[in-house]
Chains A and B, each alone.
Chain A
Amino acid sequence: MYLADSRGAAAAVAPDPGPGRRPAAVPATVLALGAVSLVTDVSSEMVTAVLPLYVITGLGLSPLGFGLLDGINNGVGALVRLAGGHLADRGGRRHKAVAGLGYGLSAVCKPLLLLAHSLPAISAVLAADRTGKGLRTAPRDAMISLATAPGQRGRAFGVHRAMDTTGALLGPLAAFAVLRATVDGYDAVFAVSGCVAALGVVVLVLFVPRHVTSVTSATAARPPGPERPTVRDALGLLRRPRLRRLTACAGLLGLTTVSDSFLYLLLQRDGDLPAHLFPLLPLGTAAVFLTLAVPLGVLADRVSRRRLFLAGHGVLLAGYGLVLSPWHGVPAVIAVLVLHGAFYAATDGVLAAATAGAVPAQHQGAGQALVGTGQALARFVCSLSFGAAWNLWGPRTALALTAAALAVSAVAAAFVLRGPEEAPV
């Protein structure tokens, strides 16, 4: 379903407020994209929540070794993300079309799970689902950047991330409600998840404008006709010093960001945490992220996004320190989760907002993809090396080394990122 758009519809999404009027807190497009993410995350987390149960008790399969393809998926996911960002910029801003393709692909995958009864088939469906996620991420962040006035982007990304995380927390609730009503009706969970995902696509189609135009450049004189950035142009983005520095720093800090699963494993091993509380750890991080995403986004708009991004990594460093400290038990674990959630709130949307300021409007998709992919690949390398360090020296030494590397990286990043914050787009 694709609805025709009106003639000459490239209107500014959040028109500059007249003098004396307060600007809208968050542009409608951002709220619409937030709603799409919320609904889509309900759908995908429904599946995530019941998938282990389905595989083990529903299908009676032993899923060990199931995660082996994760490495390949990560690599493919990174490439898809770059392609998604670039394709979205081409052809006069096809952000909505490319994002819609990504959301649509993931939506189709949900009912396909009904047909997959073996681990290889389930892996294939999940890989397609991830491809959809990779495809949509950069165009979505590009649309948020374009729809928002530069001074408000921290807040806008904060609102989007908070809505996204709300969906992630609601998904498991919805899944288990269906599972209760049907007594192990996994097919019903997948079908409902597919319907919810389809609703996300409908909201995208109806409420996100087909052409999101930069609020800053819309008022200025612009060359007529769509711009068609080439691959060369996209790669040329790295010649821009500000984007190059941001990508380098996101990558450098990503190299020292231990993956969530390793952190939770360390908390459980060293934190004297009762085994049954283990599944609650990701919820703790998500709840703090959700709560702090907007306030820290607003703070980023006030002080400086890059400064907050660095401060977020300082908070992460404090979290590592707490894990390594002799303070154990449930209160210590809660403190670590608060720091971990605050780290995400101070860095995730804030990095996207900082990226938006370093890339011209017609390259927002490629720019977001570049920085996001750099960070994701660096974190993947960190996982591999952290695992190797654990094997060689044990978990605590591995974390101490990572913490030291994070401290050095943060100092280096602070040095690289000094200088003026934003430049005119």
Chain B
Amino acid sequence: MSGTTGMTRTTRLVILLAAVLLLGTVGAGTVLHAAHRSGLRDQQQADGPAVRTGTVSLLPSGGRRLLVRNLAWGPHRDEIATVPADRPQGPRTASGVTCLRFHAAAGTGICLQAVHGALQDSYRAVVLDAHLRERHRFAASGIPTRARVSPSGHLVAWTVFVSGDSYAGTDFSTRTAVVDTRTWAVEDNLETFHVVKDGRPYQAADINVWGVTFADDTRFYATLATGGRTYLVRGDLTTRTLTTVHRNVECPSLSPDGRRVAYKKRVEGASPDAPWRLYVLDLRTGKETATAERRSVDDQALWADGSTLVYALPGDYGSDLWSVPAAGTGAPRPLMASAVAPAYLG
């Protein structure tokens, strides 16, 4: 190559070396800074809740308990921790089991974990027994977002995000799996179920299913998205069907009496950053009730009892748990700071 930039090869190599050194220093500086910052997260948070190591069991015991993924800074960050249900702000007992998402019912737990590899992160869904020991593990194909156990403890479901391979990686879809813990039979991808939309059989390449909530050991509800719309679907594991029952419903959560569904509704006029409000749908009448929570909720809500919803909102240490009456009355109350993925036991 002739010297079309007017410099000798040596000059160019010297400039290149200088650029590599300069840019390398900047890059290394940001990496060191970030590594230092992440080190701080392992130190006990001064104003945070007391967290101590202990035994966490899913068996019925003294009183009602709330299990969460603990987000408070310190050595037990990201571990499943428990508090008495009536003292959620009190000291937490950490289990030593780390999960991104978690849910439990009737002595069965589902824990979605990240496995850090050299090339990329992989993920797995681990079914836990009542002592939080691993019973079975499944490879998951993407980033965990939702997890649920059926009221009987027999079925578990989880949803992960899978991203496309396009240049800017903006092509997201979901995969939802259901496992029967009695037989370990796996439904790997609910998108392959027969879809009945508005009374007619329906197929499309853009179908996504997420956010399972179980009614019993065969029936469940979930979100189905296609053509830019979302639907509440009723699912049946025996007939492998999904039937649409209502529009504009995401992340449904079935009430203990099976008659209502709490969900995220995309409301008109909301900012694209914060498009959802927490609603409750009466399955019999189809009546929608807005809860008193006016902020955008991006979570699959949990029924604390027949009349109270618990959900996560962004907080100082990732997220905090809040509660609000399901009837649309009252006001949202802070329930527990630095926590996500709640489950009530007992």
Contact = CB atoms under 8 A, between A and B. Distances in A.
B145 A62 contact: yes
B169 A52 contact: yes
B41 to A, nearest CB: 8
Interface residues of B, number: 72
Interface string A36-66: 0000000010011101110011001111111
A327 interface: no
A345 interface: no
B170 A126 contact: yes
Interface stretch (B45-53, B85-93, B158-166, B302-310): B158-166
B171 A181 contact: no
Count chain A CB atoms within 10 A of each CB in B3, B119, B120 and give the residue with the most. Answer: B120
Interface string B211-250: 0000000000000010010000000000000000000000
Contacts of A62: 145, 298
A185 B38 contact: yes
Nearest to A212: B4
Interface in B156-187: 161-175, 177
Contact of B168 (A48, A178, A265): A48
Contacts of B24: 195
Nearest to B141: A275
Interface residues of A, number: 88
A118 B173 CA distance: 18
B268 to A, nearest CB: 15
B172 A64 contact: yes
B192 A64 contact: no
B4 A187 contact: no
Nearest to B33: A188
Interface in A225-248: none
Interface string A130-147: 100100000000000000
A189 B177 CA distance: 31
Nearest to A68: B228
Contacts of B288: none
A172 B122 CA distance: 13
A66 B298 CA distance: 15
B299 to A, nearest CB: 9
A405 interface: no
Interface of B is mostly: mixed
B205 A51 contact: no
A15 to B, nearest CB: 8
B6 interface: yes
Nearest to B162: A278
Interface stretch (A83-91, A148-156, A347-355, A388-396): A388-396
A13 interface: yes
A302 interface: no
A57 B100 contact: yes
Count chain B CB atoms within 10 A of each CB in A5, A62, A262 and give the residue with the most. Answer: A62
Contacts of B174: 64
Contacts of A203: 16
A183 B167 contact: no
B57 interface: no
B165 A282 contact: yes
Nearest to B145: A56
Interface of B: 1-7, 12, 15-16, 19-20, 23-24, 26-27, 30-31, 33-35, 37-38, 41, 100, 116-123, 139-143, 145, 161-175, 177, 188-189, 192, 203-206, 208, 210, 225, 228, 272-273, 298, 314, 318-319
Q: Which 3 A-B pairs have the closest CB atoms?
A: A185-B34, A276-B139, A209-B4
9 contacts: A32-B1, A51-B168, A57-B100, A60-B319, A67-B171, A209-B2, A269-B192, A275-B139, A391-B205
